[in-house]
Amino acid sequence: MPETSGSPLPEPIPITLKINGSSHSIEVRPWSTLLDVLRDHIHLTDTKIGCDHGQCGACTILLNGQRINSCLSLAVMHNGDEITTIGGIADCENLHPLQQAFIKHDALQCGYCTPGQICSAIGLVSEGHAKSREDIRELMSGNLCRCGAYTNIVDAIEEVMRSESSTT
Amino acid sequence: MPTKHIGQPYDRSDARDKVLGRATYTAEHLVPDLLHGHVISSKIACGRITHLNTDHALKIPGVIAVLSHKTDFKTARFDLSYKDMDSPPGSPFRPFSTPEVKFAMQPIALVVAESTELARYAARLVEVTYEVDPHNTDLMGSLSESKAGKGLRAGVESPSNRGDFRAAYNKSEVQTSSDYLHPSQHHNPMEMHASIVHYHDEKSLTIYDKTQGVKNSQHYVTMAFGLRKKNVRVLSPFVGGAFGSGLRPQYQLFLATLAALELKRSVKVQLTRPQMFSFGHRPKTHQTVSLGASRDGKINAIFHHAVGETSRFEDYIENVATWAAKLYDAENVEQQYRIVPLDTYTPLDMRAPGGASGLYALECAMDELATELKMDPLDLRLKNYSEEDPSAGKPFSSKALKECFAQGSTRFGWDSRHQRTDTPYGKHRGSGMATGIWDALQFPTRAAATLASDLKLEIRIATADIGTGTYTIMKQIAAEELGLPTESVDAKLGDTDFPFAFIQGGSATAASVGSAVRKACRKVQKQLLKEAGKMKNSPFQHADIDDVVFEDGLLKRKDDPQMQTSLKQIFADRDIDQIDKKCTWTPNLLKQRKYSMNTHSAVFVEVEVDADVGFVSVERVVVAVAAGRILNPKTARSQILGGVVWGISMALHEESYMDNSLGRFINHDFANYHIPVNADIKDIEVIFVEEDDTVVNPLGVKGLGEIGLVGVPAAVANAVFDATGKRVRELPITPDKLFAEP
């Protein structure tokens, strides 16, 4: 049902987000999701929107090192938090091993889900639960890929996981 | 032909931008003072808007306007102006032209505000009342109302007949006949449809649109709004998937353009995921396939009848019932294809349109016949294999399907496949196979090439790369032709300022765009040779283009490779900055008319069915593909992998569920519209059986976008039957159907 009248708009609240190492002080209304703030307010469009309902994982970012769906979190809840998007993964022009592996294994086609896939994979590796291809498949199942690059995505993640476990 | 670059497994050339998050998709282009539009969708399927109150919405500070059928705007009067390159026959839907509602979730208003959140909020304050008319969205209840799908569409042919099916079928020793059904499906690329219209003045716009053809969007906008092509530039450098959804300009383009022109401001309109279910879709299709054969498996009668849905305002048609006559050499074939107009939006080509639907039914029917004959399904295909295209009475330009069967079955271990166990409980393995076929389409395409004196080469075509690898193969072909490293080549696309390309679809782009790139580069070659001939003491004075090669930045004589000059030297000596060439490539129709041109595949699938819960898992897929020459085995393999995932999805997951009482697809989000997740996809092996095809085009390329998909749904369904003994003839094969009593 439509609301009969517009209630007064909620007032903007000042917050500071630390995104990829840079501090952003902005005013946001409490209704803005972290995803909308990243894309529309700060114009960091490297994080993608695929459903806005936590059903596809395209908006996956790392919040204080943990992977989350940024569309399911309100920006005002994250004053002072460390946010890493795909744009903050590489060390300047040196790609992160997962970024390299995604290129090598052609773990992407249209590329739209890729930022979320890679952020999710970084989260997965640091969580340390995945021990097998089957685990990777299961624990990457929050990130949809409509182009169907799944087997290549698993190849890429598995390669990075193996090389990390052999060096540690 | 040299193959220094063509045929090499180069990394996708835009992959670096994509893994860095630097690829800019449609809704992400920075445009100053941008307004945001939110679409309000109709809650009824059929009727008219009687009342639309925007007062509350407009009171919100920051809400600029609410546009609807009540807005007094001027667009073209006649239907013809709203036709695009992929329009089926009929009257295209014209948003906001009347208060009439023709389908559920029809866009009925656009709220424009300073931010997306405001627009979305204000949309909830718009009050709409409707007068509701009865609707009909029930295909199965309306089969008797079907009509012939008439009219012309690129790539669509009429089903052909030969012999006398009925008489031959009645006399056949073995007869099988079954009905098959698959539901509507929606493309759902990960990137939702969006358009940004950058308003310069009332006559000139720069538009970012999610599309598979910028020229198509430009054509549509200029025709509908009475603008001139030179003043409307459309860009789409990166497309986050499309699978057909971007073949026609979708309504967000019309709405964003309308709002920009009305408000004299730049406007962005991005659809929501539920609204991705509000336009074109793969039509639900009901099919009957009857096969008549002799005891030894020779098929002499084939009947394939398909009825698909369309809208009330356009007659969408696709190639559903054309494949049997091409694949099998039966003497008596009857094929029919009919459509039923319903109160939905017009269906739209979705990856392997018609082929995915038709081959599902046909190749399941083949399996049913094999079962009836107690014959190996592969042997049945081989017994009825046709070297020529019996539907056209022509040879194929190339057809390595037999080799696909051989390599695929060996790799899969078809002869030693798991045998079914007849226990009602536990996990059961089963294997199935199917044949795939698709057309090797191509369209006239233009290209521009600029070679600068520092040997940087730029190729420009107004085509699209929807994740298919077009950028990558453009670079490879250009590098090959001019003997340059791929790093020296810049491929540009997705911009109406570039030369014409048809919409990217039908697996036609690699062949069409690739051939145009080759031709443009050959014109650059000729110019280089001409200039080289004018150099002092030139060994190339009277050389013909066939007497020389371009390699490693050098021009060499074939008869004496020591006679060479660097390309840089040519530019320096002749004092030229760059060479610009444009060309138009057209398929050699004179040569091609004597042949049928198709791609083929053989698909082998192993499933595991948990008989206790009815859960199907596709454990293993081997697909062998014959599609001419492979330009890049890495990106080509990915295309086929994606096609296989789509096939698995069609067999087991996808369904746009039409609630006929509401007249609406009710599962319109990713929680309820199931596509495979990572855990659903296990081992997929891709084999390319290369064909040396000199007819299709000089590159020998046939296209890969659809052939990876077409055979898979039937192969999965056949494997499920092998595992369970249960033939589910309605997709997707879900546990409820596996448990249902026959």
Residue range B156-212, pLDDT digits in tens: 888 999 999 999 999 999 999 999 999 999 999 999 999 999 999 999 999 999 999
Residue range B587-613, pLDDT digits in tens: 999 999 999 999 999 999 999 999 899
Using the beta-carbon criterion (under 8 Å), do B191 and A50 form an inter-chain contact?
A: yes
| 3-class DSSP assignment, residue B574 | helix
Nearest CA to B704 among B600, B567, B553? B600
Using the beta-carbon criterion (under 8 Å), do A152 and B641 form an inter-chain contact?
A: yes
For chain B, which domains are there?
31-134+189-272 (3.90.1170.50), 142-185+281-441+593-739 (3.30.365.10), 443-586 (3.30.365.10)
pTM value > 0.80: yes
> Measured between CB atoms, does B671 come within 8 Å of chain A?
yes
A80 Cα to chain B: minimum distance (Å): 23
Residue B508 has phi, psi (to 5 degrees) of -100, -10
Residue B148 has phi, psi (to 5 degrees) of -70, 135
Q: What is the average per-residue pLDDT within B402-422?
A: 90
Residue range A88-145, pLDDT digits in tens: 999 888 999 999 999 999 999 999 999 999 999 999 999 999 999 999 999 999 999 9
pLDDT value for B150: 73
Each domain of chain A, given as residue ranges in start order, spans 13-88, 97-167
State the best of B11, B12, B13, B20 to mutate against chain A, taking most chain A CBs within 10 Å.
B20
CB neighbourhood size of B614 (10 A): 17
Q: What residues of A are in contact with residue B191 (Cβ under 8 Å)?
A: 48, 50, 110, 112
Q: By the 8 A CB rule, do B277 and B665 touch?
A: yes
State the best of A134, A151, A157 to mutate against chain B, taking most chain B CBs within 10 Å.
A151
Number of residues written out for chain A: 168
Tell me how far apart the alpha carbons of residues B574 and B532 are, in angstroms, rounded to a whole number.
8
Please report the ipTM that was assigned to this predicted complex.
0.97
Q: By the 8 A CB rule, do B412 and B604 touch?
A: yes
Residue range B678-732, pLDDT digits in tens: 999 999 999 999 999 999 999 999 999 999 999 999 999 999 999 999 999 999 9
Q: By the 8 A CB rule, do A111 and B13 touch?
A: no
> Measured between CB atoms, does B269 come within 8 Å of chain A?
no
Q: What residues of B are in contact with residue A35 (Cβ under 8 Å)?
A: none
Residue tagged 């007062």 (tokens): B55
Q: Could you tell me whether strands B63-68 and B394-395 are parallel, antiparallel, or unpaired per DSSP bridges? A: unpaired
Assigned token pair, B625: 């593909």
- A6, A115, A118 member nearest B56 (Cβ): A6
Tell me how far apart the alpha carbons of residues B255 and B650 are, in angstroms, rounded to a whole number.
32
Using the beta-carbon criterion (under 8 Å), do A148 and B116 form an inter-chain contact?
A: no
For residue B28, indicate whether it is catalytic.
no
Q: Looking at the predicted structure, is the pLDDT value of residue B1 above 50? A: no
Nearest CA to A31 among B581, B397, B515, B122? B122
Residue tagged 């696909």 (tokens): B404
Tell me how far apart the alpha carbons of residues B105 and B98 are, in angstroms, rounded to a whole number.
15
Return the CATH number of A13-88, one of 3.10.20.30, 3.30.230.30, 3.40.50.1820, 1.10.3720.10: 3.10.20.30
Q: Looking at the predicted structure, is the pLDDT value of residue A4 above 60? A: no
Tell me how far apart the alpha carbons of residues B439 and B354 are, in angstroms, rounded to a whole number.
11
Q: What share of chain A is helix, strand, coil (3-state, %, to 5)?
A: 40, 15, 45
Residues paired with B457 in a beta bridge: B451, B489
- A9, A86, A142 member nearest B20 (Cβ): A86
Using the beta-carbon criterion (under 8 Å), do A109 and B645 form an inter-chain contact?
A: no
What is the number of CB-based contacts under 8 A between chain A and chain B? 197
Helices marked H in B534-585: 567-574
pLDDT value for A2: 47
Nearest CA to B56 among A9, A1, A2, A11? A2
For residue B603, give the H/E element and its range: strand B598-610
B634 Cα to chain A: minimum distance (Å): 7
State the best of B18, B60, B277 to mutate against chain A, taking most chain A CBs within 10 Å.
B18
Interface of B with A in 54-73 (CB under 8 A): 56-57, 59-61
Chain mean pLDDT for chain B:
96
pLDDT value for B245: 98
- A31, A99, A152 member nearest B20 (Cβ): A99
Task: Report residue B2's pLDDT band, with 50, 70 and 90 as the boundaries.
Answer: very low
Using the beta-carbon criterion (under 8 Å), do A56 and B21 form an inter-chain contact?
A: no
Residue range B422-450, pLDDT digits in tens: 677 789 999 999 999 999 999 999 999 99
Q: Which CATH architecture has domain A97-167?
A: Orthogonal Bundle (1.10)
- B122, B239, B679 member nearest A141 (Cβ): B679
Residue tagged 């994250």 (tokens): A78
- A36, A47, A154 member nearest B116 (Cβ): A36
Q: What residues of B are in contact with residue A112 (Cβ under 8 Å)?
A: 25, 189-191, 240-241
pLDDT value for A1: 44
Residues paired with B314 in a beta bridge: B90
State the best of B678, B704, B709 to mutate against chain A, taking most chain A CBs within 10 Å.
B678
Examine residue B32 and say whether the peptide bond preceding it is cis (omega within 30 degrees of 0).
no
Which value, in Å, is the radius of gyration of the alpha carbons in chain A? 17
Assigned token pair, B654: 């996808």
